[in-house]
Amino acid sequence: MTQDLCCYEYDLDDNFFKNIDAPEIRKGKLHVRLDVKKFTGGFILNFHTFGQVVVPCDRCLDDMSLAVDTTNMLKVKLGTDYSDNEEVVTVPEEEGYIDITWFLYEFIALSLPMQHTHEDGECNPEMMKVLNQHLCVEEEGEDMQSMGEEQKDVDPRWNDLRKLIDNN
């Protein structure tokens, strides 16, 4: 048996990201709809979060805007100790309270593409000049270590793959 405890709405702005000292997202303007369903022993929280965030471009580090539209589910159970296990959060029964701030942040952060850059040619030109010099030196060093002798003709797909691995 479930019972609807509809609905909560939140607006997130730059202060939200500032207050939690968000590691990746600098600014944003988002709206959150939260539907809560009650079942025996807990709650099911369904979030719909949409809007815009501002993140640093992977290439030139200037601000860039990204659209966010994500739905997420969180199951909250009442128990004795707090625990956070994938999609099930256990909240001490006497507290009966869950702080969703960090969950909201994670939903937003996880919805972003792993790589995000300006369109070609729209990066900060000054920064690109500096970066290009810097990257040439760096890549040579890296390639010598990880790729052996064939570093000059590395298939570009390799770079994407390595970037994926590096990000994990």
Residues interacting with Zn ion, by CB under 5 A? 57, 59-60, 118, 123
Which residue number, 44 or 54, has a Cβ lying nearer to Zn ion? 54
Q: How far is 166 from 57, CA to CA, in rounded Å? A: 17
Q: Which two tokens stand for residue 150?
A: 């064939």
Q: How far is 116 from 64, CA to CA, in rounded Å? A: 9
Which residue number, 109 or 127, has a Cβ lying nearer to Zn ion? 127
CA dihedral 34, 110, 89, 13 (to 10 degrees): -40
Q: How far is the CB of 117 from Zn ion (least distance, A)?
A: 5
Closest CA to 33 of 44, 43, 46, 23: 46
Which residue number, 45 or 123, has a Cβ lying nearer to Zn ion? 123
- Among all residues, whose Cβ is closest to Zn ion? 57
Q: How far is the CB of 101 from Zn ion (least distance, A)?
A: 29
Q: How far is the CB of 79 from Zn ion (least distance, A)?
A: 46
Which residue number, 22 or 59, has a Cβ lying nearer to Zn ion? 59
